[in-house]
Structure 1
Amino acid sequence: MAQAGGRGQGRAQGLARVAVVVRAGAAPMWWLGVFAAGIGVLVPGITGRRIGVMAGAALFIVALAVVALRGRKRYDGLARGASRAGKHDVLQDRAVTTRTWRRGHRWWLVLAFAAALGSAFAVPAAGGMLLAGCGAGLRLKAAWLGRRERAEEALLWVRVDWLGRHAGRPAGKGVKGYRSTGIAAGDAAPGGARRRRTAELV
């Protein structure tokens, strides 16, 4: 794991990228939602397929907007007050952060998928499209964080112990502040995507 430079604030801490935590749930929610919607559209349901798909499209848009916009003021406040990470603070790898989030939320994801499938018997495809919309909203929120990180030329990190046992919300009540590093720190690019390594020409 890499280490951050700069002066430390208190004792050394394990730090996870904020954008990576946000992004961790995007892919599983999206693909489980798409899968559930694909299966659900095969079921006539109570409302019929046409109404189910139309309702699902509306739920997708609403979920995307709510998830993408929710908590932005809180993120802004924490980012503005970010302190510089210390040279002994340990930056958690992107893969570790993502894996921890997904393991901690695996049963929630299973239940959400089951609920999306079950709802197809009433409103075909709608539940799956709702779940997919939540995943897309998380991806948009991570992209928004990435634009902020590029503009400020500083990556945002949160203490691992403040995320809780299941690596939960990076802007929850238990999070008292962020730390920042230079734009090149860690193995994740601004926004939490995998950093592309370009080979150096000799």
Structure 2
Amino acid sequence: MARGDRRAQGLARVAVVVRAGAAPLWWAGVFAAGVGVLVPGLTGRRIGVLAGAALFIVAAALVAYRRRRRYTGLTRGAARAGKHDVLQDRAVTVRNWRRGHRWWLLLAFAAALGSSFVVPAAGGMLLAGTGVGLWLKAAWLGRRERAEEALLWVRVDWLDARGGRPAGKAVKAYRGTGIAAGDAAPGGARRRAAALV
């Protein structure tokens, strides 16, 4: 590992970054599809919904499985986080990702709505499928984290360099912590409070 990587760094959870876009894409897609069903479009509602269902499945599968080899390679090379590294809160990671991608999300939503005049509901279902794919990918990461009993983190400055992609070219390696570190559970969901005994 390079000497610069040994310094204390701000770290964000990989799974949290992955699933940060899932909810806005899902809800934007559901809303766009719901509005799209009200528009007859050029193809008609039945064809639009059938095409949308196919797009939903394809998008979910592609997003869920895309770059898994890259994630696996980065996971194998993960170094232990240092005691001076700063673990970013889940809410901060989610907020930063969504703020950095707000215009992209808005344009995607507008495109999904506009496509309803041609193929009703299809664009919205494509967006929703992308959101589901991100949830599935985060769940896959969570299973890896549980199996290895280590949470995966990525340097915040590397995320900023490439638009928030946790497996982008700027990311050279992950860092790992114990399974109880941070405020997010394996897979990036909110950590549930321990039940009182």
Q: TM-score range by the shorter chain?
A: over 0.9
Q: Does the Cα contact within 8 Å between 2:162 and 2:168 map onto a contact in 1?
A: no
- Alpha-carbon distance between aligned partners in 2 of 1:105 and 1:112, rounded to the nearest angstrom: 11
Q: Give the equivalent residue in structure 2 for 1:162.
A: 158
User: Can you give the 5+ residue segments of structure 1 that lack an aligned partner in the other structure?
Assistant: 1-8
Q: Does the Cα contact within 8 Å between 1:101 and 1:166 map onto a contact in 2?
A: no
Q: Are 2:100 and 1:104 aligned?
A: yes
Q: Secondary structure at the match of 2:11?
A: strand
Q: Are 2:163 and 1:195 aligned?
A: no
State the AA in 2 paired with 1:86. Answer: G
Q: Are 2:120 and 1:124 aligned?
A: yes
Q: Give the equivalent residue in structure 2 for 1:11.
A: 7
**Which is richer in helix?**
2
Q: Give the equivalent residue in structure 2 for 1:182.
A: 178
Q: Give the equivalent residue in structure 2 for 1:135.
A: 131
Task: State the identity as a percent.
Answer: 82
**Deviation, structure 1 residue 164:** 1.2
CA change 1:27–1:51 in 2 (3 A) is same
Matches within 5 A, 1:5-44: 10-44=6-40
**Deviation, structure 1 residue 200:** 3.7
Q: Give the equivalent residue in structure 2 for 1:73.
A: 69
Q: Secondary structure at the match of 1:164?
A: helix
**Deviation, structure 1 residue 10:** 1.1
Q: Give the equivalent residue in structure 2 for 1:86.
A: 82
Q: Give the equivalent residue in structure 1 for 2:144.
A: 148
Q: Does the Cα contact within 8 Å between 2:183 and 2:190 map onto a contact in 1?
A: yes
RMSD of aligned Cα (Å):
1.0
Tell which deviates more after alignment, 158-167 or 186-195: 158-167
Q: Give the equivalent residue in structure 1 for 2:52.
A: 56
- Alpha-carbon distance between aligned partners in 1 of 2:78 and 2:163, rounded to the nearest angstrom: 19
**Deviation, structure 1 residue 167:** 5.1
- Alpha-carbon distance between aligned partners in 2 of 1:168 and 1:10, rounded to the nearest angstrom: 22
Q: Does the Cα contact within 8 Å between 1:104 and 1:166 map onto a contact in 2?
A: no
State the AA in 2 paired with 1:169. Answer: R
Q: Normalising by structure 2, what TM-score?
A: 0.96
State the AA in 1 paired with 2:83. Answer: K
- Alpha-carbon distance between aligned partners in 2 of 1:73 and 1:33, rounded to the nearest angstrom: 28
